[in-house]
A = this chain, B = another copy of it.
Amino acid sequence: MIELERPIRFEEVDAARIVFFARFLNFAHEAMEHFFAGLDGGYSRLIMERNVGLPAVDVAMQFFAPARYGDTLRIETTTARLGNRSATLRYRMSHRASGERLAEVRHTVVTSNLLEMRSIEMPSDVREIFSSHLEPDTRAGDEPRR
């Protein structure tokens, strides 16, 4: 599990004064970039120099409580499923101060060549990071379990 803490920013709320629901996917991606910080050159080198990326094919989100400006999020990222070319990341988002559960996001990605935009075998360094954070009760398998 990789943890990220980040404050809600001033412009991340909406006209209902709670964090805009789409923002939780921005937070998820930020947590994914942090998850892959251990790659040589980080996630950005994977994208910019190796032309390999992890486009989403499926997202499932649940919202439990609203977040507001002034809150700090804790995001715990794990690998919920690991296949040959795809994987599912799980982000558990909570309110740092109270521990209250705010949202959960499952994010299924496919390792892709960005120039040709087609799936490829997962590079070994990417797989290693996914493997290191596999949830304890998860068995490998290429098919999403929904």
Q: Is A126 an interface residue (CB 8 A)?
A: no
CA–CA, A10 and B55, complex, Å: 12
Q: Per a CB cutoff under 8 Å, which of B10, B56, B58, B61 touches A33?
A: B10
Interface membership of chain A positions 59-73, coded 1 if the CB is closer than 8 angstroms to chain B and 0 otherwise: 111110010111000
List 25 contacting pairs A-B, 8 Å CB cutoff, sorted by A.
A7-B33, A9-B29, A10-B20, A11-B20, A11-B26, A13-B15, A15-B47, A15-B48, A16-B47, A16-B55, A17-B17, A20-B29, A21-B25, A21-B29, A21-B59, A22-B26, A25-B25, A44-B69, A45-B70, A55-B63, A58-B63, A59-B59, A59-B60, A59-B61, A60-B60
